Structure 1
Amino acid sequence: MSAHVPYAMPKLDGNRVPLRGRVYPVQHKRAHEAAAKHNLSLSDYLGALIDRAEGLPNKIDNPDRQGALPIPEAS
């Protein structure tokens, strides 16, 4: 059983955080094709999959949605 590691937000790149990882070439190809089918970037497609898995509104099921999560206004 792994120990719970508290979440620490990485440095922002604009309004987003960078995400780096590796997938198999065939997975990358499938993700690229699926993202293109939904007119999304790979990053937006991954974010939509994460939101969808949590039962949240997302750009896959609702393509007119402007953003997956509300961006808080700077105070």
Structure 2
Amino acid sequence: MKKLLLSLALSAIALSTSSRNDETVYICNGPKAEVYHSKSNCRGLNKCSGDVKKVTLSKAIEMGRRACKICY
């Protein structure tokens, strides 16, 4: 019974993580940009010197971006 509950719990965690990686985030394409944002109108994007681009969370992390301290 304990193994079944543990298995179900791990499955639930894996599903929630994979769906989060498909989440849409916003990044600035400027040369000094380092973060991703949860909203396209985050004030952290106000000084973006490039274009604001919509990508998946997994792609932003793959690009070496970290979460914005304002919108996350």
* Structure having greater relative contact order (Cα 8 Å, sep ≥ 6): 2
TM-score, scaled to structure 1: 0.24
TM-score, scaled to structure 2: 0.25
Larger radius of gyration: 2
